[in-house]
């Protein structure tokens, strides 16, 4: 790179937490404040290493299985949602629960229940093993078939081609989802769509901004964790949009200076579960290497907010104590 090369950063907006993530993180903080530590959380509350580590320092304990939570404790379900069987496990384990499932995920759960009640075959587009897919599938296991991308379509079978509907994991790439839907419609012409778009608005907005910057950026840095589906998708979207290279990093110190060789324009974006402080640190890292000119690429305004879980309005420590004494009454 010559000294005369213009260096600039294209910064995607919106950035920072989406409404569902913000709600979930605040829910853990409020629970710790109201009830004291420990608060158990089943799976990572959101898929971001920094957020999880920060909450652990405040007294949150993350577990993989409900059985790991001691009886009489408070357990919170993550933003990705859980299957009904998990609620049953919590009741059997005498646990007080807080459901921090993102309302957009809850909407997909309700759609699954409704279509199953009408005896539809439900084709769930998503990635096998993802918590959101596991939770949604658990709502109607006898009616749901997972379709993990266009390559899965050929092997999909349904009972009645005239009664089939598709739903999707909310954090997928919009383009990948629609490519899968198109393939499904070719195989099942009477396939119906959900009443509203299931792809999370925050995921769509971030992908749209990356598409806009991808054609101009030599390099796109995506701030996010490797187990964050929407962050991983942003790397893919950036490359498809024309970026020569795109990398996923949790923290600024993971950036390899060699990535900047021959680069004049760097795009910076972040997943929907990434706090703004991590993006700011990446911008500072780039500025220290001559990339001080920052241009905003804005795809949309985000003004959606969600109310906190209703369980935070109750005395859950007292309820947990009653459960330990065998008193499971609501009153």
Please choose, from the candidates 273, 295, 272, the residue with its C-alpha nearest in 3D space to the C-alpha of residue 283: 295
Q: Please, what is the angle between helix 229-240 and helix 174-187, to 10°?
A: 90
Distances (CA, A) of 122 to 89, 141, 166, 185, 293: 25, 10, 6, 13, 48
Catalytic residue status for 67: no
Q: What is the DSSP string of 17-33?
A: --HHHHHHHHHHHHHHH
- Give me the count of residues in the chain: 331
DSSP helix/strand/coil, 231: helix
**Of 131, 132, 176, 319, catalytic:** 132
Q: Please give the Cα distance from 298 to 311 (Å, whole number).
A: 36
- CA 95-99-100 angle, 5° bins: 135
Place of tokens 């949602």: 81
Q: Which residues are CB-contacts of 204 (< 8 A; sequence separation ≥ 6)?
A: 174, 197
DSSP-assigned beta bridge partners for residue 123: 145, 166
- CA 67-70-74 angle, 5° bins: 100
Structure tokens given for 288:
């220290």
Distances (CA, A) of 181 to 82, 140, 149, 164, 168: 25, 20, 9, 12, 10
Q: What is the DSSP string of 261-316?
A: TT-SEEEEEE-TT--HHHHHHHHHHHHTTT--EEEEEE--------PPPGGGGS-H
Query: Which residues form the catalytic set?
Result: 132
């Amino acid at each position: 790179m010559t000294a005369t090369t213009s260096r600039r950063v294209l910064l995607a907006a919106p950035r920072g937490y989406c409404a569902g993530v913000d709600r979930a993180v605040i829910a853990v903080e409020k629970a710790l404040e109201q009830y004291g530590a420990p608060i158990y959380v089943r799976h990572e509350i959101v898929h971001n290493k920094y957020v999880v580590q920060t909450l652990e320092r405040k007294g949150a304990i993350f577990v993989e299985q409900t059985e790991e939570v001691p009886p009489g404790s408070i357990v919170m379900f993550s933003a990705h949602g859980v299957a009904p069987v998990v609620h049953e496990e919590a009741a059997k384990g005498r646990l007080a629960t807080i459901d921090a499932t993102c309302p957009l995920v809850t909407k997909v759960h309700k759609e699954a229940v409704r279509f199953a009640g009408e005896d539809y075959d439900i084709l769930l587009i998503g990635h096998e093993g993802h918590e959101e897919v596991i939770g949604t599938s658990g709502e109607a296991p006898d009616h749901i078939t997972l379709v993990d991308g266009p390559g899965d379509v050929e092997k999909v079978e349904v009972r009645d081609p005239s009664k089939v509907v598709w739903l999707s994991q909310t954090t997928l790439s919009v383009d990948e989802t629609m490519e899968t839907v198109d393939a499904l419609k070719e195989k099942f012409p009477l396939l119906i769509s959900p009443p509203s778009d299931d792809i999370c608005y925050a995921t769509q907005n971030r992908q749209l901004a990356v598409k806009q910057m991808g054609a101009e950026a030599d390099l796109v840095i995506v701030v996010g964790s490797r187990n964050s589906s929407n962050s991983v998708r942003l790397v893919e979207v950036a490359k498809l949009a024309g970026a020569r290279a795109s990398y996923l990093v949790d923290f600024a110190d993971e950036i390899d200076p060699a990535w900047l060789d021959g680069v004049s324009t760097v795009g910076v974006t972040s997943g929907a579960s990434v706090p703004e402080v991590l993006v700011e640190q990446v911008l500072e890292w780039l500025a220290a290497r001559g990339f001080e000119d920052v241009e905003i690429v804005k795809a949309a305004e985000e003004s959606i907010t969600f109310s906190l879980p209703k369980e935070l309005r109750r005395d859950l420590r007292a309820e947990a104590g009653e459960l330990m004494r065998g008193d499971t009454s609501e009153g």
